[in-house]
Amino acid sequence: MEAWHKYPLQVGDGSIIRNAFLPDFEAQADFMGGYAADDSAYADRESFWHTYFQARYPIWDEFIRRHVDRDARILSIASGRCINELRLLCDGYSVTSSDLEVPACHHANAELFGPHEYLALDITKQTPPGQYDAVMCLSLIYLFDERTLDAFFRNVSTTLRSGGRLILDAAGSEQSLLGTLYHRGFLKGEAWAHYLLRKIASATPLSRFRYSLLIRNYGFRWKSREIIQMAARHGLKLAAREEHDPLTELSRSPLLGRALARPEGLLARLLVKLIGNRLKYLRLFVFEKQG
């Protein structure tokens, strides 16, 4: 496990800003684009799916359906807007959603799709009420250090029935030598170069803006074997594993992003083959409760 940083530029005073990311509900909701009920997206169900059921959400949906029975009682952790949860509910699955707080959009979700249970729950500090056949947690554990991740697995294991399943997305590429070189070397160097060039340009009389470099503590990048070993401590045995999405990590680079704009080009195909396929963003796991 290693710390995960990002280095965005923002209009400012030209300074370097070190920002520790705090994984509270407000910060996460803001990062996810907010959980307000936008009128156009909530006009009807088709508009909702067209707006939100994009990118990685169909991949998650297909993976969950393959590994969770339709009659299972499911608890979702860090549900946010409930995009995957609502998709499952519409097809007859039994899903209880949860997050640190019940989001502002929950009432609008209920008006559009019908009422469903939503718990205010901190899975790292609380044991969920009742027992479940499956727990799903998508794009969360990158926020957790070792002690918090251990508490997460302990409480998830407690709430799962024997033979129950945890559907988990690690929410980030593998922590590996290539990953470290890419994130801590290439992306960091690219951000500093961009910042310095902007700083030089801002010194000219024609410059209208100054830019600051934000060094953001984004969370943690975990090795898959570390996740598997920690889950095993709490009676959760690996049952299945998949990786998807070779483009997200590459797209973090403005330079490489321009190459990816022509996916049929030789450079784009080489980048995906040599880097993207070894740093796939979605790492999906199925763990089964033993005993």
Is the pLDDT confidence value at 175 over 70? yes
Question: Once rounded to an integer, what is the mean pLDDT over residues 223-248?
Answer: 97
Main-chain dihedrals φ then ψ at residue 215, nearest 5 degrees: -95, 100
The pLDDT-based confidence of 28 (bands split at 50, 70, 90) is low
Is the pLDDT confidence value at 65 over 90? yes
Domains of the chain: 2-176+216-247+282-289 (3.40.50.150)
The two tokens of residue 249 are: 């990590």
Q: For 21-134, where are the alpha helices, taking DSSP H only?
A: 25-31, 45-52, 57-67, 83-90, 106-113
Is the pLDDT confidence value at 188 over 90? yes
The pLDDT-based confidence of 31 (bands split at 50, 70, 90) is low
Is the pLDDT confidence value at 245 over 60? yes
Pairing status of strand 16-20 against strand 211-221: parallel
Question: Once rounded to an integer, what is the mean pLDDT over residues 216-243?
Answer: 95
d(CA 184, CA 7): 10
Mean pLDDT is lowest, of 4-18, 24-38, 179-193, 251-265, for 24-38
- 204 half-sphere exposure, CB direction, 13 A CA radius: 7
Beta-carbon count within 10 A of 58 CB: 13
Helix (H) or strand (E) holding 227: helix 224-232
The pLDDT-based confidence of 55 (bands split at 50, 70, 90) is very high
Question: Once rounded to an integer, what is the mean pLDDT over residues 97-105?
Answer: 92
Residue 107's Cα: distance from chain center in Å? 24
Identify whether the C-beta of residue 85 lies closer than 8 Å to the C-beta of residue 95. Answer: yes
Specify the pLDDT at position 43: 93
d(CA 86, CA 97): 9
The two tokens of residue 72 are: 């299972």
d(CA 236, CA 19): 35
Identify whether the C-beta of residue 128 lies closer than 8 Å to the C-beta of residue 159. Answer: yes
The pLDDT-based confidence of 86 (bands split at 50, 70, 90) is very high
Identify whether the C-beta of residue 79 lies closer than 8 Å to the C-beta of residue 97. Answer: yes
Specify the pLDDT at position 114: 94
Question: Once rounded to an integer, what is the mean pLDDT over residues 195-204?
Answer: 81
- C-alpha pair distances (Å), 12 with each of 16, 55, 134, 202, 218: 9, 32, 46, 11, 20
Is the pLDDT confidence value at 23 over 70? no
Look at the block and give the residue holding tokens 């969950």: 64
Is the pLDDT confidence value at 60 over 90? yes
Question: Once rounded to an integer, what is the mean pLDDT over residues 169-197?
Answer: 93
The average confidence (pLDDT) of the chain is 91
Say whether 236 sits in a helix, a strand or coil: strand
DSSP 110-157: HHHH----EEE--TTT-PPSS-EEEEEEES-GGG--HHHHHHHHHHHH
- Angle, helices 83-90 vs 106-113, to 10°: value is 20
Is the pLDDT confidence value at 6 over 90? no
The pLDDT-based confidence of 15 (bands split at 50, 70, 90) is confident
Could you tell me how many residues make up the chain? 291
